[in-house]
A and B are shown apart, each in its own frame.
Chain A
């Protein structure tokens, strides 16, 4: 079974609109961390935001926020006021804390294209 599922292979969004990228995860661990990374066409993976399983507040980093719904096992990334430079691949990833080697498990990614 997939541990990280990103159901949107691609999305087109109008500039300045808000964007929600979906991510659902599967784990039986109580302690885990969820990450979002951005990969522009240059290839480098850029860290965007982190949410810990015990964090009570949703994480925010500038225009990025993480809509963390623990009971539903979802960790959607929200980008407010999208910009042309937001066009990229976006990856959700999880690190489990119990009985594992702590390695990141990655989703297949969502390609986001911002239209002017």
Chain B
């Protein structure tokens, strides 16, 4: 079955620690995205990538880093510089390399990150 796999489902971070959230897709999509979801708020874009070896900052990139070495994979690292990392993180992908208004996103099942 094609889809997006996020792991782990739950992750705990200690003070000063970097943690990496995994996102893998087998949909052959060019574009991939990372969103942060806080209770009572809409999704906020952290980073996105429209092609391998290229990525752009979203609205809340500070304290996060990404890489896109393979088309299938877009890992997100939450660094110690992110002072309030507790949130639900969603990875998504979409087909086109060139964006358009009708571009539909496909999502993984998310990772809940909490601070110990």
A residues with CB within 8 A of B: 4, 9, 31-33, 35, 37, 42-47, 50, 52-53, 91, 93, 95-97, 101-109
Contact = CB atoms under 8 A, between A and B. Distances in A.
B114 interface: no
Contact of B109 (A44, A103, A107): A44
B56 A101 contact: yes
Interface residues of B, number: 25
Contacts of B112: 43
Contacts of B102: 33, 50, 52, 95
Contact of A31 (B101, B106, B109): B101
Contact of A102 (B44, B58, B100): B100
B92 interface: yes
Centre residue among B42, B105, B110 by max chain A CB count within 10 A: B42
A45 B92 CA distance: 9
